[in-house]
Structure 1
């Protein structure tokens, strides 16, 4: 409950900071259970590991990932180019919290910003379910510009769901001895 409260506060703070009406934020969420301890799942997600793994395993979706700035910590800017064509998405890592196992990235270009959203935040929570199990929770928070509300644009959570499945497959088959 504390993690959810912290996330809601953070999203409201970011949203209000950039003049988004806090009541207009919407969410899309995906959860995947992994038969691996949360600390090991977090190690994959905390910096660039999950991005590199996704680029390797989802070649039919992700053409390439470029690190435009940083080393995987807060302030890192990534550009993802998707297949087919050259549609792309650029994000900046705003939060990496090792204690709460939370990572938040804000979309700078692409994604739902191209179809009428004013903000898009992607958050990953790695939740300990038991000593040997964890949950990968992917959440997209977004707000739609007033002039686009009738069209009801939405970001696509399917890519994050596919990334979580790749992570699950990788983590459950890794030799952690």
Structure 2
């Protein structure tokens, strides 16, 4: 009986993983920062970058609201965009301190509202030297078959702007130290 249950679980899990790993498209932005990767990671690893971006881009982000959690795995974050009628909600599904990787899965809004079936946001902080790194922002997404003709896609510009804000903030605070 246990073997049958294990096999059924394996089949269900395999089907889920196939659905999750369907042909995902990617939009990527990379930005070099002249600050140690560990300092950049401290800003990105929890809620720091989200709150700093919301504070700096008030004309774009009306509100950043933590619905659940403290910035670790399981945290749900809702961004409401100005003028307040569009929003995006995500759940952090991975925060890896060793690899300096943070992954969030879109739950509603964003490209999910215009025909995408999956939206996954990933940040990698890649060390170049002891005093520099690259902020790599990636949005992986899949389009529902019935919306493919419309070619919906997420917008990477907000993540690119967040990386620029992080760069300015961290490089200017490095010079103050």
Structure-2 residue corresponding to 1:65 = 64
Query: Structure 1 residue 15: deviation in Å?
Result: 10
Structure-2 residue corresponding to 1:128 = 127
Structure 2 unaligned runs (5+)?
A: 1-12
Distance 1:83 1:21 in 2: 31
Query: Structure 1 residue 86: deviation in Å?
Result: 1.8
Larger Rg: 2
Structure 1 unaligned runs (5+)?
A: 1-13
Structure-2 residue corresponding to 1:107 = 106
| SS of 1:75 mapped into structure 2 | coil
Structure-1 residue corresponding to 2:144 = 145
1:2-21 aligned at under 5 Å gives the runs: 17=16, 20=19
Query: What RMSD, in angstroms, separates the aligned Cα atoms of the two structures?
Result: 1.8
Structure-2 residue corresponding to 1:43 = 42
Structure-2 residue corresponding to 1:82 = 81
Which runs of 4 or more aligned residues in structure 1 lie more than 3 Å from their structure 2 counterparts after TM superposition?
A: none
Distance 1:16 1:62 in 2: 37
Aligned length: 164
| SS of 1:143 mapped into structure 2 | strand
- Say if 2:62 and 2:84, in contact at 8 Å, map to a contact too: no
Any idea what the Cα deviations from partners look like across 1:133-177, whole Å, max 9, x if unmatched?
A: 010000000000000011110000001100110000000001474
TM-score by length of 1: 0.88
Query: Structure 1 residue 43: deviation in Å?
Result: 0.3
Structure-1 residue corresponding to 2:157 = 158
| SS of 1:24 mapped into structure 2 | coil
Change (3 A) 1:101 1:21: closer
